[in-house]
Amino acid sequence: MVKNVGGTEKVIRLVVGGYLLLGALFLDLSTWGTATLSVVGIIAILTGTVGYCPAWTVFGINTCRTKSTP
């Protein structure tokens, strides 16, 4: 599993995932709304923590910095 989520994107995913989970806890939503926010928030936090996003692999996106060879 090659990492394809860069540093800035990791932070964004963690922050957005945290807000989604907070929204699921504190907003007055239906059961489906709460479940959807929870699942999307958990996925954002997991992909930000691990540094790998399967969807980015499918689309050929890689936000990691490439190491330049001397």
pTM tops 0.85: yes
Question: Tokens 């932070």 appear where?
Answer: 11
Angle, in degrees to the nearest 10, between helices 7-26 and 31-50: 160
pLDDT digits (tens, 9 = 90+) for 23-69: 999 999 999 999 999 999 999 999 999 999 999 999 999 999 877 66
Domain boundaries, the chain: 7-59
